[in-house]
């Protein structure tokens, strides 16, 4: 089976009231989120975009201090009989319990 391209969007819902400090420890390290997502996408094997989105959301929620995470995964070249632009799934999950861990 030939690997197919995916497009992934991640939206983090975070209390940023402390971010005015301009200190990375008071927010989420987006480069760390990117590396986590890239690792899941590049190293994992998923038949369903729902499973990929769920794995990404779960790992982010377990690794970073977020109130909620929303993940969208698009598959522009899904094997479907007909014209379409893309197939997409979007899901939300509550954040984990990583108190004090901004990633």
Catalytic residue among 53, 75, 95, 103: 75
Among 37, 34, 49, which Cα is nearest to 4's? 49
Q: What is the DSSP letter of 88?
A: E
Alpha-carbon distance 87 to 73, whole Å?
8
Contact between 101 and 64 (Cβ < 8 Å): yes
Per the annotation, the verdict on 77 as an active-site residue is: no
Residues marked active site are found at: 75
């Amino acid at each position: 089976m030939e690997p197919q391209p995916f497009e992934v969007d991640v939206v983090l819902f975070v209390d940023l009231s402390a971010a005015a400090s301009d200190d990375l420890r008071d927010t989420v390290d987006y480069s760390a989120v990117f590396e986590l997502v890239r690792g899941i996408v590049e190293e994992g094997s998923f038949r369903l975009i729902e499973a990929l989105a769920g794995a990404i959301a779960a790992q982010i929620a377990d690794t970073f201090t977020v109130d909620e995470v929303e993940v969208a995964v698009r598959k522009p070249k899904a094997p479907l009989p007909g014209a379409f632009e893309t197939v997409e799934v979007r899901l939300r999950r509550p954040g984990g319990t990583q108190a004090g861990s901004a990633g």
